[in-house]
C-alpha cells in the first residue's frame, strides 16, 4: 500500500510501527489544557500524530538533539516555530501534517531562525560543505542547496507538494542534519564513560533515575554517555545521558555548584573542554566548563565545578564503549521524477509546507508562515 495514500486519512504515517534504536535525541511535549474542548481534543490528536511521525524520522536519520515544547494556538494562522524550541500549530487542520511538523522542527534547530544559519547563506546558496556534498549525493553532481534568510530548498518542505514519498521526508532530515553540522560545527564523537580518578572505589559520572547527576558504579547503564563535538576554536563537547545532557544549573559561573542534567539548549554552560591531564593514566582529562572556565571535581558522590588544584578529584578517565546504536542508513538514490521547477519558482517571499505565501514575521517567531491574502 502506498504510504502517502494512507496518509490522506492518517496525519501521522509512522504511529503504528515505531520500533528500533534511534540515532537522534529529539523529543517533544505537547502542552494541553486541563479541561480541553472538543476542538482542542481533535487538534491534540492530529498534532500528536504529525509530531510522532516527524520525531520518528528525525531520530531515525539524524544525530540531532532538541527538546521541543508544542502548543495548539488558535491565534496562529498556520504554524510557527523558534530556535528556543517553541512550536505552535494554529487552528487550520491542513497544517497538522507531518511535513509541516518537520518544516517547523527544522526551525527549532536553527534553520532560518539563527544568525549562524543566515551567515552560511551567500548569494542564495548555502555555503556548508557537508550539506552541499549530500545534495549532490542525493540528486546528482549538478545539484545545489539554495536558500534565503529563513528557508532552504530542495527538501526544505516549504511546499506540501514537495512531498512525493517517504524518501523526500528522509532526505529533508539528512539535509538538516548536514546543515546543522556545517553551521554549528557539531558531530557525534563516540560512546564513552567518564571515571573519576579517585580510588579505591573508582566511580563514573552518571544520571540516576531521578535525572540527578551522581557518581555511581561504572557498570550502571546511566553512566553511558554519547559524546558530541561542538564548535571550533576551541572544540567543546556535549555529554548526553539519554534524553538529557550534563548541565550547570542556572548557567552559574560560581565555584562549588553541583552539576546536574537538563534538556540540551546549546548554551555554553552545557559544553565542556577536554584538557589532557599529565598523570600516569591513559585518556586522562581535566573537564572545563566553557562558560564558567571552572573544572569538574568528584566530591562526596557528586560532581561540582571548582577552581582546579593539583588533586585526583579533578582527573577523569575517558573509557570508550561499543556503539550499539543504529546509524542513519546510506542515501537511497532517488528514482522518482524530480520537481524540476522548484528552484525557479521559489521567489524571495516565504512559504509554508502547503506552498502559501508568507506575510510579516511576528517578533520572536521568525519562522511564522501566514496565508495568502
The CATH number of whichever domain residue 197 belongs to comes to: 2.80.10.50
Same domain, 258 and 273: yes
- The torsion angle over the Cα atoms of residues 154, 63, 271 and 121, rounded to 10 degrees, is -10
Q: Is the pLDDT of residue 326 over 50?
A: no
Give me the chain's average pLDDT, please.
83
Task: Report the helix count and the strand count for the chain, using DSSP H and E.
Answer: 6, 20
Residue 185 pLDDT class (50, 70, 90 cuts): confident
Residue 362 pLDDT class (50, 70, 90 cuts): very low
Of 298, 320, 342, the residue at which a domain comes to its end is: 320
Residue 91 pLDDT class (50, 70, 90 cuts): very high
| DSSP secondary structure code for residue 177 in this structure | H
Q: Is the pLDDT of residue 62 over 90?
A: yes
Q: Which of 163, 161, 160, 15 is nearest to 92 (CA)?
A: 160
**Structural domain includes residue 363:** no
Same domain, 114 and 190: no
**Structural domain includes residue 64:** yes
pLDDT of residue 187: 82
On the 0-12 / 13-18 / 19+ scale of CB atoms within 10 A, 330 is exposed
Same domain, 152 and 255: no
Q: What is the pLDDT of residues 108-132, one digit of tens each?
A: 999 999 999 999 999 999 999 999 9
Same domain, 224 and 101: no
Q: What is the pLDDT of residues 67-87, one digit of tens each?
A: 999 999 999 999 999 998 999
Q: Is the pLDDT of residue 140 over 80?
A: yes
Residue 332 pLDDT class (50, 70, 90 cuts): very low
pLDDT of residue 232: 85
Structural domain of 274: 186-320
**Structural domain includes residue 295:** yes
Q: Is the pLDDT of residue 361 over 80?
A: no
Residue 323 pLDDT class (50, 70, 90 cuts): low
Same domain, 177 and 195: no
Same domain, 228 and 119: no
Domains in the chain, number: 2
Same domain, 168 and 203: no
Residue 176 pLDDT class (50, 70, 90 cuts): very high
**Structural domain includes residue 360:** no
Same domain, 265 and 294: yes
Of 132, 150, 184, the residue at which a domain comes to its end is: 184
Of 152, 184, 216, the residue at which a domain comes to its end is: 184
Q: Is the pLDDT of residue 196 over 50?
A: yes
**Structural domain includes residue 355:** no
Between 230 and 14, the higher pLDDT residue: 230
Q: Report, in this order, helix, strand and coil percent for the chain, each rounded to 5.
A: 25, 25, 50
Amino acid at each position: 500500500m502506498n504510504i502517502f495514500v494512507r496518509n490522506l486519512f492518517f496525519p501521522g504515517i509512522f504511529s503504528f510501527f515505531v520500533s528500533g534504536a534511534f540515532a537522534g535525541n529529539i523529543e517533544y511535549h505537547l502542552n494541553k489544557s486541563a479541561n480541553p474542548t472538543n476542538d482542542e481534543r481533535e487538534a491534540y490528536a492530529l498534532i500528536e500524530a504529525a509530531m510522532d511521525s516527524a520525531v520518528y524520522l528525525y531520530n531515525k536519520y539524524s544525530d540531532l538533539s532538541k527538546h521541543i515544547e508544542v502548543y495548539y494556538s488558535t491565534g496562529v494562522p498556520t504554524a510557527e516555530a523558534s530556535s528556543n524550541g517553541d512550536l505552535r500549530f494554529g487552528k487550520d487542520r491542513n497544517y497538522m501534517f507531518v511535513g509541516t511538523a518537520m518544516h517547523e522542527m527544522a526551525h527549532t534547530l536553527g534553520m532560518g531562525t539563527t544568525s549562524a544559519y543566515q551567515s552560511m547563506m551567500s548569494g542564495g546558496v548555502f555555503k556548508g560543505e557537508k550539506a552541499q556534498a549530500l545534495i549532490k549525493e542525493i540528486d546528482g553532481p549538478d545539484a545545489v542547496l539554495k536558500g534565503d534568510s529563513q528557508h532552504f530548498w530542495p527538501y526544505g518542505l516549504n511546499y506540501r507538494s514537495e512531498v512525493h514519498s517517504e524518501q523526500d521526508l528522509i532526505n529533508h532530515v539528512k539535509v538538516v542534519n548536514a546543515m546543522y553540522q556545517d553551521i554549528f560545527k557539531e558531530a557525534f564523537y563516540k560512546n564513552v564513560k567518564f571515571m573519576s580518578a579517585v580510588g579505591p572505589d573508582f566511580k563514573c559520572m552518571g544520571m540516576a533515575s531521578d535525572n540527578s547527576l551522581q557518581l555511581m558504579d561504572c557498570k550502571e547503564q546511566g553512566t553511558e554517555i554519547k559524546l558530541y563535538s561542538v564548535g571550533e576554536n576551541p572544540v567543546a563537547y556535549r555529554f548526553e545521558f539519554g534524553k538529557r545532557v550534563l548541565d550547570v544549573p542556572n548557567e552559574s559561573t560560581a565555584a562549588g555548584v553541583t552539576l546536574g542534567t537538563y534538556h540540551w539548549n546549546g548554551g555554553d554552560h552545557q559544553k565542556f573542554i577536554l584538557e589532557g591531564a599529565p598523570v600516569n593514566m591513559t585518556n586522562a582529562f581535566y573537564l572545563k566548563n566553557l562558560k564558567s572556565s571552572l573544572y569538574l571535581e568528584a566530591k562526596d558522590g557528586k560532581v561540582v565545578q571548582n577552581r582546579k588544584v593539583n588533586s585526583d578529584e579533578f582527573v577523569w578517565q575517558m573509557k570508550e564503549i561499543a556503539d550499539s546504536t543504529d546509524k542513519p542508513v546510506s542515501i537511497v538514490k532517488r528514482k522518482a521524477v524530480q520537481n524540476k521547477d522548484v528552484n525557479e519558482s521559489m521567489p524571495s517571499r516565504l512559504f509554508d509546507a502547503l506552498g502559501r505565501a508568507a506575510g510579516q514575521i511576528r517578533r520572536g517567531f521568525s519562522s511564522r508562515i501566514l496565508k495568502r491574502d
